[in-house]
């Protein structure tokens, strides 16, 4: 069975953050603040996240983007929602976590989603992942007919530092650097794709929360070390307690070693994943952490201490 029929692709991964650099052998494109998805476009549209969950029920406004390609193809890209011309991670996460059909339809008309493709893996019954990135970019541009629902990511050759400064001024997430000659490796992290960000981020398991004054809530965070869940600190800014009320509680903390000073914590089953942005430091601690949003495209066991 070929890639299109199987529909089980795990996308290529981006390597850890580095300082921006310029190099004529690399291209640079904006890192979009959305949800990584694979689009299978043929007689209809199938859109799946990194866990291979179908996303169309959450973004019905994208159900006909298959009409915007010239050949049957598989695209790698970002599912996002723009607000004031900027990708809004909270808005797309809120949509994905919504189950009420009426609320989804209302949100679709108020803040329509779009899919931005930055790679093509398959075209006209042929897998093309062994072609160089630049060749794939050219095929992508020839294949997609852009409209408000489907767009192609723009890139800049050589000038990574300059693009990073623009992204920073516009309060965008950052930049991804990609080697011109890079092939596409499923579910692999190589040095051919690197991110530049002015804020680092990590994924954590939500292990509980501590209610505070004036409705503010502090999340208790954890990550796995192999199979053992380890306490990793707190994040407070931006968290609302009502977002947590629907999740199952536990009598005892899920950690092998209970952190001190958590007498008033409300413990949750370790089933929920969140993203936290922070200022990087040499000690690896979360400096100035900011809650960015929940995500359902990553399993809790995949939140590993590195």
Mean pLDDT of the chain: 91
Picking from 231, 234, 247, 223, the residue whose alpha carbon sits closest to that of residue 302 is 223
pTM, to two decimals: 0.82
Hey, CA dihedral for 97, 103, 104, 109, is it positive or negative? negative
The 10s digit of each residue's pLDDT in 55-86 is 999 999 999 999 999 999 999 999 999 988 88
Task: From the options 2.60.120.10, 3.30.470.30, 3.30.830.10, 3.40.50.300, give the CATH code of 25-196.
Answer: 3.30.470.30
- Predicted pLDDT of residue 188: 95
Which architecture characterizes domain 200-302 according to CATH?
Beta Barrel (2.40)
- Predicted pLDDT of residue 215: 64
pLDDT, averaged in runs of 10, over the chain (306 residues): 92 90 97 95 97 95 98 97 89 90 95 97 96 98 97 97 92 92 96 88 92 77 93 82 82 86 89 87 70 89 90
Please, are residues 152 and 114 in contact by the beta-carbon 8 Å criterion?
no
- The domain ranges of the chain are 25-196, 200-302
- Predicted pLDDT of residue 185: 97
Q: Cβ of 200: how many Cβ atoms within 10 Å?
A: 17
């Amino acid at each position: 069975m070929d890639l299109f029929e199987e529909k089980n692709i795990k996308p290529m991964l981006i390597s850890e953050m580095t300082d921006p650099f310029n190099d004529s052998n690399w291209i640079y494109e904006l890192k979009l603040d959305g949800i990584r998805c694979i689009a299978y476009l043929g007689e209809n549209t199938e859109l799946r996240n990194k866990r291979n969950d179908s996303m169309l029920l959450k973004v019905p406004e994208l159900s006909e983007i298959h009409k915007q390609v010239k050949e049957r193809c598989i695209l790698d890209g970002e599912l996002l929602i723009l607000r004031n011309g900027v990708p809004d991670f909270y808005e797309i996460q809120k949509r994905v976590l919504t189950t009420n059909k009426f609320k989804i339809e209302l949100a679709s008309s108020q803040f329509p989603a779009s899919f931005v493709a930055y790679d093509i893996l398959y075209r006209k019954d042929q897998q093309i992942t062994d072609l160089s990135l630049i060749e794939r970019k050219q095929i992508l541009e020839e294949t997609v007919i852009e409209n408000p629902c489907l767009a192609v990511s723009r890139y800049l050759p050589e000038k990574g530092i300059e693009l990073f400064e623009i992204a920073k001024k516009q309060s965008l997430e950052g930049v991804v650097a990609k080697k011109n000659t890079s092939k596409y490796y499923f579910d692999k992290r190589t040095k051919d794709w690197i991110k530049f960000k002015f804020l680092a981020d990590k994924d954590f398991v939500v292990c509980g929360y501590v209610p505070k004054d004036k409705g503010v809530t502090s999340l208790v965070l954890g990550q796995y070390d192999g199979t053992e869940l380890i306490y990793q600190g707190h994040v407070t800014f931006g968290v609302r307690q009502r977002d947590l009320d629907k999740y199952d509680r536990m009598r005892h903390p899920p950690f092998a070693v209970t952190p001190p000073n958590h007498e008033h914590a409300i413990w949750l089953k370790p089933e929920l994943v969140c993203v936290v942005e922070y200022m990087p430091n040499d000690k690896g601690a979360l400096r100035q952490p900011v809650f960015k949003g929940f995500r359902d495209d990553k399993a809790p066991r995949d939140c590993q201490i590195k």
